């Protein structure tokens, strides 16, 4: 059946066709909304994973120093070792004192100083860094939410923390960090999609 031309239709018929077309397009809204919500939840999960990776990061492998003999050293010969032990025995018989090394002399000197004074050397004082004006992220979120009468989005919470300067340092993924803290801590209640109190 041939489709009638628009010029041959009346205004009422054209209006009916337009209404049918609008109703047909509106019928697609539920499926489109469902698809939008699904994609939004997937995007939120991806952002959380990215934030976790940016915060933690891979651990750097620690290098252990290899124990063993340094390269370039030659093992002592058996003949020289015997000669040194023989010289020591001869020195003992003849009444001569063995030659002391510099390290042995230092040890004797420190031992004599300890006996005379009887006081132990004062231990170095360890400096402890004082954390003044710093606040953890969950504490900052709690403060912001307690001051608000209505539920807030992650973006609004982030802006409030920055405005009040509750935390000194902010990274590029600070909003994702706020979202992770809100989802992990039970004291923050979710009031809707993206809203917390």
Q: How far is 174 from 151, CA to CA, in rounded Å?
A: 19
DSSP labels, 68-117: SPPTTPPPPPHHHHHHHHHHHHHHHHHTPPPPPPHHHHHHHHHHHHHHHH
Whether the pLDDT of residue 17 is over 50: the answer is: yes
* Total residues found in the chain within this entry: 197
Whether the pLDDT of residue 39 is over 90: the answer is: yes
Q: Dump pLDDT digits (tens) for 53-99.
A: 888 655 455 555 455 555 556 655 555 555 556 556 645 555 555 55
Whether the pLDDT of residue 104 is over 50: the answer is: yes
The pair phi, psi for residue 183, each rounded to 5°, is -80, -25
User: Taking the C-alpha atoms of 135, 138, 140 and 141 in order, what is their torsion angle to the nearest 10 degrees?
Assistant: 170
Strands in 190-192's sheet, in edge-to-edge order, are: 152-153, 195-196, 190-192
Over range 137-142, report the average pLDDT. 87
Q: Integer distance in angstroms from the first to the last C-alpha of the chain?
A: 62
One-letter-per-residue 3-state SS of 138-158 = HHHHHHHHHHCCCCEEHHHHH
pTM value surpassing 0.95: no
Whether the pLDDT of residue 130 is over 50: the answer is: no
Angle, helices 154-164/137-147, rounded to nearest 10 degrees: 100
Query: What's residue 43's pLDDT?
Result: 92
Over range 28-38, report the average pLDDT. 88
């Amino acid at each position: 059946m041939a489709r009638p031309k628009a010029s041959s239709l009346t205004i009422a018929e054209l209006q009916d066709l337009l209404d049918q077309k609008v109703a047909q397009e509106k019928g697609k809204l539920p499926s489109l909304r469902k698809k939008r919500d699904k994609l939004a939840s997937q995007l939120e999960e991806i952002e959380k994973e990215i934030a976790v990776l940016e915060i933690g990061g891979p651990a750097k492998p620690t290098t252990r120093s290899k124990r063993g003999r340094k390269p370039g050293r030659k093992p002592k010969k058996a003949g020289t070792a015997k000669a040194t032990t023989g010289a020591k025995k001869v020195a003992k018989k003849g009444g001569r004192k063995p030659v002391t090394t510099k390290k042995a002399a230092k040890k004797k000197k420190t031992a004599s100083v300890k006996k005379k004074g009887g006081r132990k050397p004062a231990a170095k004082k360890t400096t402890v860094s004082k954390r003044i004006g710093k606040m953890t992220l969950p504490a900052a979120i709690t403060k912001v939410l307690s001051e608000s009468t209505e539920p807030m989005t992650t973006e609004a919470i982030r802006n409030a923390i920055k405005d009040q300067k509750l935390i000194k340092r902010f990274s590029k993924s600070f909003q994702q960090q706020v979202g992770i803290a809100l989802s992990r801590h039970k004291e923050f209640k979710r009031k809707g999609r993206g809203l917390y109190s």
